[in-house]
Amino acid sequence: MNSKYQDLFTSYTLPNGVELKNRIVMAPMTNYSANPDGTVSEAEVNYYVRRSNGVGMVITACTYVTPNGKGFDGEFAGDRDEMIPSFKQLASAIKAEGAKAVLQIFHGGRLCPPELVPNGEIVSASDVPAEQPGAISPRALTETEIEEIIEAFGETTRRAIEAGFDGVEIHGANGYLIQQFFSPHSNRREDRFGGSLEKRMTFPLAIVDKVKSVVEKHATSPFIVGYRFSPEEPETPGITMADTLALVDALANKGLDYLHVSLSEFFSTPRRGVEDLTKTRIDYLLEKIDNRVPLIGVGSIHTAEDARKAFETGVPLIAIGRELIIDPDWVQKVAEGREDEIVTKIDKNNQEQLVVPDPLWHRILNVPGWFPIA
């Protein structure tokens, strides 16, 4: 191994005592490849197995916690106990390769396609549609329904524990329901779940509390609880960097095992809400967190050099997403001093060798600009 990358291969102990063998995490990515009944498909299991050997931790694609939270075609289900054997199959396969297995739990809110949810009824914090072409006005959830969804996040966590996962990641990013409650764009409520910045945090923090209480009750060994967030929204009104720093401040005191920022570019700078727009979002976050909880950084990390530069900022863990689809042997190549052999563009003829399920492969080749293609 080239000595300048050796720090990426040191082990890391999370706050709850769980040890990761290195600093590289597989980022959560939707793969559209579950079976029609919501169970994990064999193609999905094989896809994860192909990528679980090198990394310290795998965060799965998101699973929905209620039927009206299904956000994607071919998303696997986490909303009922019948799914526990399916979960178990996925968790066991990832763990057998030596990585920790973390299940991402989620509700799509106003971004759910109507054809995927009961009666085609989309729900959110308020009846404000997303600012995107063809967006539908959601129905505002009642307080009772909100409580039921909080409960459902707890129930899916219990299923993850029973299935043998090492942890869950609460998906509070990318414009989905948890973020919709935090955002002044999508949350115009005037009850205890909306209004001020503090009240808009009520739902996200209640989910964290619920998940942690379920872990306390059901887990017999240390169980990882992480939280993913997006730092800003382009909409006005929308989440600003200042809003996120306030949320992160609250989350950092919640006894979580990590926070995970969702970024498309690791070194991106804030849009608004802070004084210095030349300082990176990562730097702002690390400063606010002040070592209270580990931060996972992510965003367009393709080469070993990209990872080294990211790690030098002080984030203890680096997540890699698309690059592990392009080159599942990324970690092993860096570990063996073969970083110059890393592939950074998808080879259209390589689906079988890369073990990518058909639905995901089809999207990779047909969504312009999503993946670099050779």
Known catalytic residues are 176
Structure tokens given for 317: 């863990």
Give the separation between CA 9 and CA 28, rounded to whole angstroms. Answer: 21
10 Å CB burial of residue 210 (0-12, 13-18, 19+) is buried
Output the DSSP codes for 81-149.
Answer: GGGHHHHHHHHHHHHHTT-EEEEEEE--GGGS-GGGSGGG--EESSS---SSTTPPPPEEPPHHHHHHH
206, 150 contact by CB (below 8 A): yes
Give the separation between CA 232 and CA 244, rounded to whole angstroms. Answer: 7
49, 94 contact by CB (below 8 A): yes
Give the separation between CA 2 and CA 337, rounded to whole angstroms. Answer: 5
Residue 237: asked if its preceding bond is cis (omega within 30°), the reply is: yes
Give the separation between CA 55 and CA 131, rounded to whole angstroms. Answer: 36
10 Å CB burial of residue 12 (0-12, 13-18, 19+) is middle
β-bridge pairing 12-13 and 19-20: antiparallel
Of the candidates 144, 27, 122, 29, the one whose C-alpha atom is nearest the C-alpha of residue 70 is 122
Give the separation between CA 124 and CA 256, rounded to whole angstroms. Answer: 26
CA neighbours within 13 Å on the CB side: how many for 305? 3
What Rg do the C-alpha atoms of the chain give, in angstroms? 19
